[in-house]
Amino acid sequence: MDRRKFIGVSALFTGAMMVKPDMAFASPAQESKLATGLDIKSYVKEPKRKIPVIDSADVVVLGGGPAGVSAAVAAARSGADVLLLEKQYYLGGLWTGCCVLPIIDTHGCAKNGSWTKCIYGFAQELVDELTKMNMCIVHKGHPTPDPEATKYVLEKHISESGVRLLYNCYAAGAVMSGDRVDALILDCKSGRVAVKGKIFVDCSGDGDILEWSGEDFEKRKTQIGAMWRYGNAENLNRPGVFESAVKNVKFLHMGGEKDQDGLDVYNLTRLQLKYRKMMWEKSMEDKQKPGCEDLFLLDTPSQLGVRVTRVLNAVHNVEFEDSLRYAEYPDCIGLSGGDSSLTYKHGLIKGANRPIWQIPYRSLTPKKVHNLLVAGRCFGFDEGLTYDAREIGTCLVTGQAAGTAAAMAAITRTGVRDVDISKLRQNLTAQGVKL
């Protein structure tokens, strides 16, 4: 069947879109409380319409950040037909679009007290390739690649693994069939369309499918910051300025405002305007420093540094206390570490190095939805782990595990909670993942 006929016979009605049970007959006041926190003025009714299904896959991955790319490549290499959906026109998410360049969490403190590497697998594959291109340095102990080179390498791996990629697709909802996601609704330049899948992996960073599917999650607030780059900055040396993989280019870090809602469009707009003004004015100030007369603002981030929004209430959320005591899980699917100089903000063991901690498969697994896995900064962890759980290294690890498990579930026609853990761990070990 060609694509036009497929679209003609495969249509979904917006009336079939799943809503949470407590919203089905809610009053406007109740709906205001259930919404994202925006001040709702009134409502309009969208006419019913058929939504064409334009594609389907064994595994559909939402979000092309480090977790999403890792998940998509792992699923494709495991034999699944994979569709990756990304709202931007590049891959890497905050890693490349916000210049959150250091791959933190690659090392941690082992039980014997040594500072030990713990992240391998696809993450190491990327670092090795970027290093060979002279596009990755080690800065303060962390592999730190160039963002443009990273975009290129990520697209290269997507292409070579056979993943089908769609850019400029904003996912806008989910169509549910009982406890399963049947399709995702997308808004794009081609209009409103839908894609179907056997297994879905939420790597959106904001847990978007969690919201739409009625899955259990917790909404959290934290700092929203930004990073940006200078050119001709070889003579600029001050706190907050970091070396990059490109000669005379340095990147800078702004911690940003605390306790911010990363799902409020008004708030995000306010911060974007405020931060870009600050970046320009700071560049003009830095330009006045001795030897920095030719310094210029190379780029500002195309995305704000949103650290956390929705977090899955998983079958088992990783607990911060467990991570400190080297808790071991029979369903461990990867390891993570931390930044020894920044982790212990909670005052639990000041001065100590961050222990290597295990990530159980259960922390990627929802309690309700049968064909959904979650990776990246919205998998299941408690608030004390926010710093390390959202880092690029951890995202790459959880993505690789989720993609591998999703392929296994799709090929064997089982639910994600029925995946053979022993086989999953064998598959991840064969991929070079350290367990």
What does the pLDDT read at residue 147?
Answer: 97
C-alpha–C-alpha distance, residues 427 and 396, integer Å: 16
Among the ranges given (26-35, 47-56, 82-91, 344-353), the one the predictor scored with the smallest mean pLDDT? 26-35
Res 301 pLDDT > 70: yes
Q: Are residues 103 and 34 in the same domain?
A: yes
How far, in Å, are 92, 146, 203, 231, 369 from residue 252 at the CA level? Answer: 18, 14, 26, 11, 40
Which residue type occupies 87? K
The percent of residues above 70 in pLDDT, for the chain, comes to: 89
Token pair belonging to 115: 């500072």
Stretch (H or E) spanning 424: helix 421-430
Domain boundary among 283, 306, 329: 306
What does the pLDDT read at residue 139?
Answer: 86
Res 18 pLDDT > 60: no
C-alpha–C-alpha distance, residues 199 and 415, integer Å: 8
Greater confidence (426 vs 388) lies with 426
What does the pLDDT read at residue 230?
Answer: 98
C-alpha–C-alpha distance, residues 332 and 316, integer Å: 12
Res 294 pLDDT > 50: yes
Q: How far is CA 220 from the centre of its chain?
A: 15
What does the pLDDT read at residue 276?
Answer: 96
Q: Are residues 257 and 200 in the same domain?
A: no
Q: Are residues 341 and 378 in the same domain?
A: yes
Q: Are residues 94 and 146 in the same domain?
A: yes
Strands, DSSP E only, in 277-342?
296-299, 305-306, 310-312, 332-336
Greater confidence (22 vs 98) lies with 98
Name the band, by pLDDT with cuts 50, 70 and 90, for residue 9: very low
pLDDT digits 0-9 by tens, 394-403: 999 999 999 9
The percent of residues above 90 in pLDDT, for the chain, comes to: 82
Q: Are residues 341 and 366 in the same domain?
A: yes
pLDDT digits 0-9 by tens, 135-189: 999 988 899 999 999 999 999 999 999 999 999 999 999 999 999 999 999 999 9
pLDDT digits 0-9 by tens, 75-115: 999 999 999 999 999 999 999 999 999 999 999 999 998 99
Q: Are residues 34 and 126 in the same domain?
A: yes
Across the range 357-375, mean pLDDT stands at 98
Name the band, by pLDDT with cuts 50, 70 and 90, for residue 340: low
How far, in Å, are 173, 223, 229, 286 from residue 290 at the CA level? Answer: 53, 33, 19, 9
Q: Are residues 139 and 251 in the same domain?
A: no
For 248, half-sphere exposure in the C-beta direction (CA atoms, 13 angstrom radius) is 9
What CATH code is carried by the domain that includes residue 26? 3.50.50.60
Res 338 pLDDT > 70: yes
Owning domain of residue 291: 222-306
Q: Are residues 23 and 138 in the same domain?
A: yes
Q: Are residues 284 and 406 in the same domain?
A: no
| Residue 327, helix vs strand vs coil | coil
Q: What average pLDDT is seen over the chain?
A: 90
What does the pLDDT read at residue 352?
Answer: 60
Name the band, by pLDDT with cuts 50, 70 and 90, for residue 275: very high
Domain boundary among 287, 306, 325: 306
Nearest CA-CA partner of 430 in 401, 410, 402:
401
Q: Are residues 158 and 295 in the same domain?
A: no
Q: Are residues 201 and 333 in the same domain?
A: yes
What does the pLDDT read at residue 36?
Answer: 59
Token pair belonging to 384: 């004390």
User: In the chain, how many domains are there?
Assistant: 2
Name the band, by pLDDT with cuts 50, 70 and 90, for residue 13: very low
Q: Are residues 301 and 350 in the same domain?
A: no
> CA torsion angle for 398, 399, 401, 403 (degrees, to 10)?
160
Domain boundary among 286, 306, 326: 306
